[in-house]
Copies of this chain bind each other. A is one copy, B any other.
Amino acid sequence: MAKGAGMIHPLLATMLVVLTTDYPLSPEEADLFLRPAVEKSFNRISVDGDCSTNDTVILLANGASDATRTADLDAFFRDALQEVCDTLARQLVEDGEGVSVVLEIAVTGAVDDRQARAIAARIATSPLVKTAAYGRDPNWGRVLMAAGSAPWNGGLAELDPNRVQLSFNGTRVVSAGTPTGGDVDTSGKVCRIELDLGLGSGEASYLASDLSYDYVRINAEYTT
């Protein structure tokens, strides 16, 4: 079970998630299973880039299954937990305030996974990328702007424009830093942005939303 709308850019802090299982786990074991699953799901989504003060993910395990734990069964549970977290995280974005398009952002070829994540998060939170998505415009310039302004090691991520490959919904739009003029279908409810930097083997993905009139309406008309 998960609840979220705006203020969604969890760094575990208005997102509320409760997971239940009858798999037998001690509190310490539940923590060990839960943290990696959260890292790759709830901590990789963004509606508006704003963290809440009370994002919460709770895993309740009552052991009622009386299952006998084995390494195989643990692996099965780990995969199932990841799948549930991934599904709920995606639903949080799909149900986000004013969302009309879900952005699947995949960054590959970064220096390392941390750099890939910083770049994916910057693309996920760029108002210009998000308004372009709302306008159904495969705006490669805005994606590259965001990538090149990602914070990295106290400065900004350094990219080699000549190595950059970018696709929208599987259509290559930038190849070796040069626009291809590829014709992108942006009619769907999902926009997949795949950016390969050509620098290393780092990779990360992020799920984000577009920025629409409705997001502004919901958050400007609400008054404290």
Closest to A221 in B: B135
Q: Which of B127, B156, B222, B223 contacts A49 (CB 8 A)?
A: B127
Q: Which of B48, B137, B149 contacts A127 (CB 8 A)?
A: B48
Indicate if A176 sits at the interface (CB-CB under 8 A): no
> Chain A interface residue count: which class?
35 or more
B residues in contact with A125, CB < 8 Å: 49
Per the 8 Å Cβ criterion, residues 122-171 of A in contact with B are: 125-128, 131-132, 134-135, 137-142, 144-146, 148-149, 151, 156
B residues in contact with A217, CB < 8 Å: 213
B residues in contact with A34, CB < 8 Å: none
* Residue from A7, A145, A148, A219 having most chain B Cβ neighbours under 10 A: A219
Residues of A within 8 A of B (CB): 6-7, 11, 13, 48-53, 125-128, 131-132, 134-135, 137-142, 144-146, 148-149, 151, 156, 211-213, 215-217, 219-224
What 10 A-B pairs are tightest by C-beta distance, nearest first?
Answer: A135-B220, A131-B219, A51-B149, A48-B127, A134-B220, A131-B220, A137-B223, A50-B128, A139-B224, A213-B213
Known: A48-B128, A50-B142. 20 other contacts (CB 8 A): A6-B128, A11-B149, A11-B156, A13-B149, A50-B145, A51-B148, A52-B145, A53-B148, A127-B127, A127-B215, A131-B215, A134-B220, A135-B219, A135-B221, A137-B223, A139-B224, A140-B224, A211-B216, A213-B213, A213-B217
A-B contact pairs, 18 of them (CB 8 A): A7-B128, A7-B145, A11-B149, A50-B126, A50-B142, A50-B149, A51-B148, A53-B145, A53-B148, A127-B219, A128-B219, A131-B216, A132-B220, A134-B216, A135-B221, A141-B224, A151-B151, A212-B216
